[in-house]
Structure 1
Amino acid sequence: MTGELPFFVYGTLRPGECNHALFLHGRTASEEPARLPGALLRDGPGYPYAVRGAGGGGVLGELVTAAPGRYDALLSVLDRLEEYYGPGHPLNLYEREACDVVRVRDGVTVRAWVYVAAAAAEPGAPIAGGDWLRRRSPVPDGPRTP
């Protein structure tokens, strides 16, 4: 058992993204910038996938610590959101793995839960820089100017 690890979130759960207010608001004690080294961020259908060991320069995100007494509820809601049914389950969209992440503010390595692409996932193109918040937005239809 790994205990009550913080969570590393890198996509729609980051501040300002669609799932942050829905799933993290009121359930966290702290959120701070962090990086998952040695991983590649790939696009998905409206959300990203982190792929470990893919030779990437790292994935940027937030290290999220559950509020006191909220850990079990947060773990449960995130497992449902990420379609995680248990280790190696064939229907998993993500696997939940304990990984080393690095806090941006001081470079300290912290063990955290990270939802990474599972076998059932179909990751798309790499996201440059490993930062979901800086991904290219689709260009709207219409005239373009230089």
Structure 2
Amino acid sequence: MTPENPRHLPFFVYGTLRPGEVNHDLFLRGRTRAEDPARLAGAALYDGPGYPYAVEEPGGVVCGELVTALDEAYAELLGALDQLEEYRPGDPGRSLYLRVEREVLREADGAAVRAWVYLAAPAIAARLRERGKLIESGDWRNRR
């Protein structure tokens, strides 16, 4: 698998792309066929300036939604989300987030599903672990 020809996986969203958040309707409305509550284990959530960062961290759990795109909207949505998350497939060193494949658990039935997740790029993740504001609940909606 290469970034230029990614597998058609669902997306795990945990911040401003969740239903009711600022980017949900801008990016996802009319482009999805399913949005199911899900959890990402092995990650922690940090509060950024206006948006969250998920960082790989044993023992942590991040709450979000598993978003399944419509087939006809997939390529356009993938590009739009990569741009939103400042993921540069050809230059990951300059990326804000990295798009990685991870297993998430769908809450309704406990099914493990492979999905794309945008995690903080390594340099950002290191700074967050050192001095970032951890969202202890793992849920962006409960950050305050």
Q: Same fold (TM over 0.5)?
A: yes
Which residues in structure 2 correspond to 1:1-146 (within 5 Å)? Answer: 1=1, 3-52=7-56, 54-86=57-89, 89-121=92-124, 122-123=127-128, 124-136=132-144
Question: Relative to 1, partners in 2 of residues 1:88 and 1:51: Cα closer, same or farther, differing over 3 Å?
Answer: farther
- Select between 33-42 and 122-131 the one with higher mean Cα deviation: 122-131
Matched-pair contact (CA < 8 Å) for 1:93–1:120 = no
Give the number of equivalent residue pairs.
Answer: 135
| Higher percent of residues as strand | 2
Conserved? CA contact 1:8–1:101, under 8 Å: yes
* 1:27 CA drift (Å): 0.8
Structure 1, gaps ≥5 residues long: 137-146
Gaps of 5+ in 2: none
Q: Match of 1:70, SS?
A: helix
Deviations 1:119-139, CA, capped at 9 Å, x for gaps: 343532110210001110xxx
Is the CA contact (8 Å cut-off) linking 1:57 and 1:130 kept in structure 2?
yes
Segment of structure 1 superposing worse, 117-126 or 89-98 = 117-126
Distance 2:111 2:90 in 1: 28
Normalising by the residue count of structure 2, what TM-score does the alignment of the two structures yield? 0.89
Q: Quote how far apart the aligned CAs of 1:94 are.
A: 0.2
* Structure in which a larger fraction of residues adopt helix: 2
CA-based RMSD: 1.4
Distance in structure 2 (CA, Å) of the matches to 1:88 and 1:100: 24
Following the alignment from structure 1 to structure 2, what is the Cα–Cα distance between the partners of residues 98 and 88?
A: 18
| TM-score, structure 1 normalization | 0.88
- Residue 67 of structure 1 and its aligned partner are, at CA, apart by 1.0
Whichever residue aligns with residue 44 of structure 1, its letter is: G
